[in-house]
Amino acid sequence: MSKDFPTPVKEMASFLSFFAASRMYAPIDKLSRPFSIEDVINTVNDVLRQISVIFENPDGEETIEGRRARYIIDERSGLRRKIYIPRIPSEETVKNFIQLCSEDLNYARITAALALAHAPKRVRELEKEEVGEEA
């Protein structure tokens, strides 16, 4: 494998970073140690279903650089944090990612690692004065 990973791996890692940022590690864990392509497919199905529900029921939304950004509020860490919800990857991205993983399950493992690394980009700590605004 080259140092520059295929686009579907990077896009899926960015998408999955939401789960790492929000401390819902189950899908990341499943992709980090798949036993078969069925494990990858089942995990992808689960996260797509979960994110579609979360995306339609955000805690809030704002405009960032002219684009609507939806988010959830996480208070589990003792701090209030906005975690931005990703858009669902394209059908082509999902198809190509599954194809890559069917050829080599290491792509799933790499995607999980990259998702963990990308997670901080999805989070913004809320300042004290913002706490009342979000409630």
Domains, the chain, in order of start with CATH, read: 7-123 (1.20.120.1610)
SS3 24: coil
Q: What is the pLDDT along the chain (135 residues), one digit of tens a residue?
A: 446 899 999 999 999 999 999 999 999 999 999 999 999 999 999 999 999 999 999 999 999 899 999 999 998 767 789 999 999 999 999 999 999 999 999 999 999 999 999 999 999 887 654 544 544
d(CA 39, CA 45): 10
Is 0.75 topped by the overall pTM?
yes
Give the pairing type, strands 123-125 and 81-84: antiparallel
